Chains A and B, each alone.
Chain A
Amino acid sequence: MPILPRAARYALAFALFAALALGAARLVRIESDFSAFLPPSATPEERLLASQLREGLVTRLMLVAIHGGDERALAQASRALAERLSRDPAFDYAANGSAGQFAAQGEILMRNRYALSPEMKPGRFSAPALRAALEESLAQLASPAGMLTRANVARDPTGEFLAVLRSMEPATAPARRQGVWFSADGARAFLIAQTRAPGFDSESQAAAMERVRQALAQVAPSLQATLSGPGVFAAQSRRLIRADAMRLGLVSTAIVLALLAIVYRSALAVGLVLIPTAFGLVAGVLAVQAIFGSVHAITLGFAATLIGESVDYPSYVLINAQPGETARAAARRIGRTLLLAVLTTVASALALTFSSFKGLAQLGALTMAGVIVAGAASRWLIPWLLGERLLELPRVRIPARWFPPAPGLRVAAIVVALAALAALVPTRQRWLEGDVANVSPIPAALRAQDASLRREMGAPEVSVFLASRGASEAAALEAAQAILPALDRWQSEGLVKSYDSPVRYLPPPALQSARLGALPERSVLEANLREALKGLPYRPDAFSPFIEEAAAARGSSPITRAAYAGTPLGTKLNAQVLTLEGQWLVLTPVGGVTDLAALRAALGTLKDATTELIDLKAVSSGMLEGFRRAALHQTLMGAFAICVLLAMGLGSARRALRVVAPVAAALPITVALLAGAGERIGVFHVVALLLVLGIGLNYALFFERPPASDGERDRARLAIALCSTSTILTFACLAFSATPVLHAIGVTVALGSALCLVLASFWAAPAGIANRDGSNRAMR
Chain B
Amino acid sequence: MRAIGFVFLLCFASAAHPAPAFDLARLMQLLAATPSSEAPYIEKRFSALLAQPVVSSGTLVYVRPDVVEKKMTAPRQESYRIAGSTLTIARNGTFRSIALASEPILAASAASLRGVLSGDARQLGEYFRFALDGTEDAWQLDLTPIDEEVARYVQRIVVSGRLGRVRQVEVREASGDRSVLTVN
Which residues on A are within 8 Å of B, measured CB to CB?
71, 75, 98-100, 138-139, 141-145, 147-148, 151, 153-154, 175-179, 182, 186, 537-540, 542-543
Contact = CB atoms under 8 A, between A and B. Distances in A.
Interface of B: 43, 45, 47-54, 56, 70, 72, 76, 78, 80, 87, 89, 91, 98-99, 101-107, 109, 149, 152-154, 173, 175, 177, 179
Contacts of B154: 147
B45 A147 contact: no
A98 B150 CA distance: 13
23 contacts: A98-B149, A100-B149, A100-B152, A139-B91, A141-B54, A142-B45, A142-B56, A142-B72, A142-B179, A143-B78, A144-B87, A145-B89, A147-B153, A151-B175, A153-B49, A175-B102, A176-B101, A178-B101, A179-B149, A538-B50, A539-B49, A539-B50, A542-B50
Contacts of A148: 103, 105, 153
B105 A147 contact: yes
Contacts of B98: 145
Given A98-B149, A141-B177, A537-B52, 16 more contacts: A142-B72, A143-B80, A143-B89, A144-B70, A145-B80, A147-B105, A147-B154, A154-B49, A177-B102, A178-B101, A178-B149, A179-B105, A179-B149, A537-B53, A539-B49, A539-B50
B103 A176 contact: yes
Contacts of A186: 101
B87 A145 contact: yes
B52 A145 contact: no
A543 B87 CA distance: 31
B152 to A, nearest CB: 7
Contacts of A71: 101
A154 B49 CA distance: 7
B80 A144 contact: yes
A186 B85 CA distance: 13
B105 to A, nearest CB: 6
Contacts of A99: 103
Contact of A175 (B50, B99, B104): B99
A533 to B, nearest CB: 10
A139 B90 CA distance: 13
Given A142-B45, A147-B153, A148-B153, A179 B104 contact: yes
B157 to A, nearest CB: 12
A542 B49 CA distance: 5
A195 to B, nearest CB: 27
Give me the 6 closest cross-chain CB pairs, A-B, nearest first.
A176-B102, A542-B49, A177-B101, A539-B51, A179-B103, A147-B153
Contact of B43 (A142, A145, A153, A182): A142
A143 B70 CA distance: 10
A171 B140 CA distance: 45
A138 B80 contact: no
Contacts of A144: 70, 80, 87, 109
B59 to A, nearest CB: 15
A539 B154 CA distance: 23
Nearest to A75: B104
A186 B107 CA distance: 14
A175 B97 CA distance: 13
Given A100-B152, A144-B80, A138 B54 contact: yes
A142 B54 contact: yes
A71 B99 CA distance: 14
A153 B175 CA distance: 12
A61 to B, nearest CB: 23
A542 B152 CA distance: 22
Contacts of A537: 50-54
Contacts of B153: 147-148
B107 A178 contact: yes
Nearest to A543: B49
A537 B149 CA distance: 30
The interface centre, meaning the residue of B78, B98, B102, B106 with most chain A CB atoms within 10 A of its CB, is: B102
Given A151-B175, A154-B49, A179-B149, A145 B106 contact: yes
A132 to B, nearest CB: 12
Contacts of B45: 141-142
Nearest to A540: B51
Contacts of A182: 101
The interface centre, meaning the residue of A100, A178, A540 with most chain B CB atoms within 10 A of its CB, is: A178
Contacts of A147: 105, 109, 153-154, 173
Contacts of B52: 537
The interface centre, meaning the residue of A75, A142, A148 with most chain B CB atoms within 10 A of its CB, is: A142
A141 B102 contact: no
A144 B102 CA distance: 15
A99 B48 CA distance: 24
Contacts of B101: 71, 176-178, 182, 186
Contacts of B54: 138, 141-142, 537
The interface centre, meaning the residue of B47, B52, B173 with most chain A CB atoms within 10 A of its CB, is: B47
A462 B77 CA distance: 45
Nearest to A98: B149
A154 B48 CA distance: 10
A141 B47 contact: yes
Nearest to B46: A141
A147 B101 CA distance: 15
Contacts of B102: 175-177, 179
B109 A176 contact: no
A125 B114 CA distance: 41
B153 to A, nearest CB: 5
A531 B178 CA distance: 27
Nearest to A154: B49
A238 B103 CA distance: 40
Nearest to B43: A142
B106 to A, nearest CB: 7
A153 B89 CA distance: 21
B84 to A, nearest CB: 14
A87 B47 CA distance: 37
Contact of B99 (A142, A176, A538, A543): A176
A153 to B, nearest CB: 6
Contacts of B89: 143, 145
A154 B101 CA distance: 29
A126 B152 CA distance: 34
Contacts of B80: 143-145
A184 to B, nearest CB: 10
A153 B153 CA distance: 15
Contacts of B105: 147-148, 179
Contacts of A177: 99, 101-102
A142 B74 CA distance: 12
Contact of A538 (B49, B72, B149, B152): B49
Nearest to B103: A179
A154 B176 CA distance: 14
A72 to B, nearest CB: 8
A178 B99 CA distance: 10
Contacts of A153: 49
B122 to A, nearest CB: 14
A542 B54 CA distance: 15
Nearest to B56: A142
